[in-house]
Amino acid sequence: MLSEGEIRALEGQIGTAVRDDQRHHENLQNLLQQFQSLLQSYNGLKSDYEEEKANREKWKNLAKGQERNPFVLVLVDGDGYLFKDHLIKAGSEGGVTAAQLMSESIKSLLQERLPDQANQCRVMVRVYCNLLFLSRTLARAGLAGNEARSLSAFTSNFTRSQDLFDFTDAGDKKEGADFKIREEMFRLFADNTQCKHIFFAGCHDTGYLSLLTPYIGKRDRITLLKGASFHPEFKTLDLPIREMPNVFMSAPLGERQPPAPAPTPAPGFASAARAPVCKHFQKGICKYGNICTKDHTMPGQQLSRTHEDTPSQTLSTARHYAEYLPTTDWMAVIKLIPVNKDGYRLDTYCPMPAKGAWETYNRRIKQHKLCNKLHLGGECSDLDCEFDHSTSDVDPACLAVMRYMMRQRPCPRGPKCRSIKCYLGHMCQKEGCKCVKWSKFGRDTHTIDITVTHWLAPVEHDDHSETTASEANSGVKLMEFEKLPDSSGEGLEISLVPERTVP
**What was the pLDDT predicted at 475?**
40
Strands 337-339, 454-456: pairing kind: antiparallel
**What was the pLDDT predicted at 152?**
92
Distance (Å, rounded) from C-alpha 415 to C-alpha 426?
Answer: 5
Whether residue 241 contacts residue 234, with contact meaning beta carbons closer than 8 Å, is answered with: yes
**What was the pLDDT predicted at 239?**
93
Type of residue found at 500 = R
State the 10-residue block means of pLDDT for the chain, 503 residues long. 82 88 90 91 89 79 65 91 92 92 92 84 92 88 86 93 90 67 76 89 88 89 90 91 91 57 38 58 58 58 37 50 78 81 88 85 86 87 86 82 89 88 86 61 75 84 46 39 32 36 35
**What was the pLDDT predicted at 495?**
35
Distance (Å, rounded) from C-alpha 220 to C-alpha 455?
Answer: 33
pTM: 0.44
**What was the pLDDT predicted at 489?**
33
User: Following CA atoms 19, 25, 30, 36 in sequence, which dihedral angle do they give, to the nearest 10 degrees?
Assistant: 180
**What was the pLDDT predicted at 281?**
59
**What was the pLDDT predicted at 303?**
36
**What was the pLDDT predicted at 317?**
60
- Contacts of residue 192, Cβ cutoff 8 Å, sequence gap at least 6: none
Tens-digit pLDDT profile for residues 171-182: 776 565 667 776
**What was the pLDDT predicted at 280?**
66
For the chain, percent of residues with pLDDT exceeding 90: 19
User: Following CA atoms 161, 163, 165, 166 in sequence, which dihedral angle do they give, to the nearest 10 degrees?
Assistant: 90
